Structure 1
């Protein structure tokens, strides 16, 4: 379990960098994996929600919130 949390954070950091570059479709799978590894990763959940809202997937975004 000790490796899961750092792995989730590393995935989040990579995804966030990609997200900031405007590549939402590329960031989404990394964020999903980070959330699978650590469902309590607030920032990963937040950015994933923003991406889903941007894509118009309100129902899935609301499930995360």
Structure 2
């Protein structure tokens, strides 16, 4: 399992948290969103998912991975 913390812009409320955490579940990853720190820590199996897939999934929810 790999843990990665990504800086994510555009998150401001619990809807944002639910959106990102839900999207990560759909691809088989888990996420912990830190609104104050503008970051998302994602845990995923690197043999099944790539970091690019994780980033794209977050961006598809309307947020910017920086």
TM-score normalised to structure 2 length: 0.32
Larger proportion of helix: 1
Larger Rg: 1
Higher relative contact order (CA 8 A, sep 6+): 2
TM-score normalised to structure 1 length: 0.32
